[in-house]
Chain A
Amino acid sequence: MAAANQYDAIVVGSGMSGGWAAKELCEKGLKTLVLERGFDIRHITDYTTALKDPWQLPHNNRPTNADRAAQPIQSTLYLYDQSTKGMFVDDTRYPYEQAQPFNWYRGYHTGGRSLMWSRHVFRFSDLDFEANQKEGVGIDWPIRYADISPWYDYVEKFIGASGENPALPQLPKQILQPPFEMTALEKYIKAQFAKKFTDRHLICSSVAVLSREHNGRGPCQGRDQCARGCPYSAYFSSNGVTLPAAAATGNLKLQPDTVVHSLIYDEKKNRVLGVRAVDVNTLKTTEYFAKVVFLCASTLNSTSILLNTRGSRFPNGLGNDSGELGHNLMDHHNGGGATASYSGLLDRYYRGRRSTSMYIPRFRNVARKEDKFLRGYGYEFYSGRGTWTRGLGSADFGADFKNEITRPGHWSIYTEGYGETLPNHENKVWLSYDKLDKCGLPRQNISMKYGDNERVMAQQMMDDAVEMLTAAGLEDVKGFNHPVVPGSVIHEMGTARMGRDPKTSVLNSHNQLHAVPNVFVTDGSFMVSSPTQNPSLTYMAMTARAAEFAVDKLKRGEI
């Protein structure tokens, strides 16, 4: 039995982090088993809706009542429609308890959320890595920018990203293809910001979307239907980029439909021997063995696997000597922003559908300390001219109405801030060990609330957006500050944080469990603070870094 299921490495999960772990470990010569709990999605072949026109989709792409009943949480996401619903879980099959309201958006399939992500890839800076320590919040990051910088280089070169380097200390320089072009209005606003502000800049976001061909992939064809899967491989996904690289080594075994229940821990050796996994169709449990295990199952699920691995040495979950496992859950908040319109530039238009945003990098608590709140926010920024949908809200109809709404309307702008959330021990995930699903996995409970710092920041996010759009000469400027249900930004992170001290953290600076040396956790679980930037690039870089460390230690016989 053991011989048949023996590998050098096991990677749990095939998404953003799992794909990277698989590639790095396979390329370093390790026979690697990737266990994916969901169904298999093959690159391109299985993107069945990718090239469908609206009229080729049921109800012109509108979700039905039955869809919403099966996916009451997933169907509230902006991405959700007939073309993408298959990328999201059936909520009735994967229930969780919301001790506080929490939107958990996810897909269980090969590639995970690397297929539906928003593709923004900014680097963190030392402003981010030093903040906890300087302000006495949570614990200090055990790494600094110099530790991760070469790994950002490494990842950016491989995935292919495009965008604009703003040359700001809070957004370190990246390896980027040329950015996508700005619209006429964006060019105008960029120039206005340059005149009116010294610290506000409108740039094209860094995105893992190719503006030029890269290693036989892309460039982007301007469909803006990324979440259906890209037949041109123009954005980064595990399916299209890392998993094929892993498979090319001959060292990869990818096994879908297999959910990991817990790790197999040998107390005498203080090593994990492998994983206990359940075939989701036959419900048969099988043990798989390896020298090293990488947990990349997404924050809440990797943490839950550790919490579900209990014994006399670790009664509260594997590696949980600190009591921090499951705690310090964070997500960003994006409730504050503004809308505006502009009645000029009516002789300018665009062609194609750009799948990227513009971006206003963080400017609060950068050069000068704010009195009212810690940390800051960056804005995503979108512009466009009115489409037929502007006709929905009016009482008009008839030939003149039809002629009017079939022509490009005025320009409009939408911008929303993405704010940093402070770590808080009270925000957490925990398991109900007495409530098991059909695979024997305990029910997850999630409780997260934003705090005062986030609430004060959100107000300023709105006020700053209004100020900037007004200063740029836009019209009909309206601020908003919507309440945000935690989880909604889909950046859940922090529940197995890294740190220098095993008494206050779960992982060391190499994503290795302090207490059990052959277990690594490289998805969002390891995050110590949330910065304002989108986190996936950092997960990829830290995964590659941890893989090199792990293989080096294996070769030395140290794990």
Chain B
Amino acid sequence: MNDRRAFLRGASVLMGHAALGRVLTAFAATPRKAGFFNDTEMGTLRALVDVILPATDSPAASAADTHYFIDLAVPACASPAAQQVFREGLAAFAGYDKLPAAEQVAKLKARATSDIEKEYEASFFRILKDYTLTGYFLSETGATQALAYERVPGGFWGDLPLQPNQKAWAI
């Protein structure tokens, strides 16, 4: 590794920290309160994202606030039709967070089986999975702990041996 690369990486880390600082300051000033979904829906959503992406050797989806990501992103990014399907889906899962773990898995599996062949816009499971995976794997927790992430890799090495327990790149 040459010095120039090391220098550039160092410089970018400093710039990144400055930007991150501003984001974290803004984040800290905002209490974690849902804006789109009500408390009941948020409880259901929190349980759903953790059944899809539970804690393993990396934190669970809710530990990365994936359910809050969904609360912001679904109203902003999903089509009105998909939002409607999503709301109805959450209603069908009311009380989900109170179920025993095995029943949570079984209930979601049943829905996944019936939903997976549907068009995206009409499929609660596919919309849920889309926003859960995007919210988690592109969060700082998901990208850096569940996956591997380098903001500025410093170059491109095309053909390297896979390392033991190598995580996939987040992007």
Chain A residues in the interface with B (C-beta under 8 A): 51-56, 58-66, 180-184, 186-187, 213, 219-223, 231-232, 346-354, 385-389, 391-392, 394-399, 401-403, 405-409
Contacts and interface: CB of A to CB of B under 8 A. Distances in A.
B42 to A, nearest CB: 18
B147 A406 contact: yes
A59 B77 contact: yes
Of the listed residues A60, A232, A387, the one surrounded by the most CB atoms of chain B closer than 10 A to its CB is: A60
Given A181-B157, A222-B155, A406-B147, A392 B130 contact: yes
Contacts of A396: 112
B40 interface: no
Contacts of A346: 162
A424 B91 CA distance: 57
Interface residues of B, number: 65
A186 B16 CA distance: 33
Contacts, number: 179
Given A60-B73, A388-B168, A349 B160 contact: yes
Q: Lowest 7 A-B CB distances belong to which pairs?
A: A181-B158, A352-B153, A352-B156, A222-B153, A54-B138, A60-B138, A395-B112
A51 B129 contact: no
Contact of B76 (A61, A65, A385): A65
Given A56-B20, A409-B168, A181 B159 contact: yes
18 contacts: A58-B76, A60-B73, A61-B138, A64-B76, A181-B157, A181-B159, A223-B153, A349-B160, A350-B156, A351-B157, A388-B147, A391-B129, A392-B129, A392-B130, A397-B129, A405-B168, A408-B162, A408-B169
Contacts of B112: 395-397
Contact of B159 (A51, A348, A391, A394): A348
The interface centre, meaning the residue of B126, B149, B151, B167 with most chain A CB atoms within 10 A of its CB, is: B151
B162 A222 contact: no
A385 B169 CA distance: 9
Contacts of A391: 129, 133
A61 B77 CA distance: 11
Contacts of A184: 158-159
A222 B139 CA distance: 21
Given A53-B151, A352-B155, A354-B156, A62 B73 contact: yes
A51 B12 contact: yes
Interface string B92-116: 0000000000000100110011011
Report which residue of B72, B126, B169, B170 has the largest number of chain A beta carbons within 10 angstroms of its beta carbon.
B169
A221 B138 contact: no
A184 B161 CA distance: 10
Given A55-B140, A61-B138, A353-B171, A398 B159 contact: no
Interface of B: 4-5, 8, 12, 15-16, 19-20, 23, 51-54, 56-58, 69, 72-73, 76-79, 105, 108-109, 112-113, 115-116, 125-126, 129-130, 133-135, 137-140, 143, 146-147, 149-163, 166-171
Nearest to B8: A221
A398 B23 CA distance: 31
A51 B16 contact: yes
Given A221-B152, A403-B56, A180 B158 contact: yes
Given A59-B73, A220-B156, A350-B159, 6 more contacts: A53-B151, A54-B143, A181-B158, A231-B12, A348-B159, A352-B157
A212 to B, nearest CB: 11
A530 B102 CA distance: 62
Q: Which of B115, B130, B138, B170 has the most CB of A within 10 A?
A: B138
Contacts of A352: 150, 153-157
A460 B108 CA distance: 45
A88 B19 CA distance: 24
Contact of B133 (A347, A351, A354, A388): A388
A224 B108 CA distance: 37
A220 B4 CA distance: 12
A221 B140 contact: no
A446 B73 CA distance: 36
The winner among B78, B108, B162, B168 for most chain A CB atoms within 10 A is B168
A543 B160 CA distance: 42
Given A51-B151, A388-B147, A397-B129, A232 B156 contact: no
A186 to B, nearest CB: 7
A54 B169 CA distance: 13
A505 B140 CA distance: 57
Contacts of A407: 166-168
A48 B76 CA distance: 22
B11 to A, nearest CB: 9
Contacts of A55: 23, 138-140, 143
A416 B140 CA distance: 34
Contacts of A408: 162, 166, 168-169
B158 A186 contact: yes
A71 to B, nearest CB: 14
Nearest to A386: B168
Contacts of B72: 59
B56 to A, nearest CB: 5
A83 to B, nearest CB: 11
- With most chain A CB atoms within 10 A of its CB, the pick from B76, B105, B147 is B76
B37 to A, nearest CB: 16
Contact of B15 (A51, A61, A386, A392): A51
Contacts of B108: 397
A66 B75 CA distance: 11
A347 B105 contact: no
A62 B76 CA distance: 10
Nearest to A64: B76
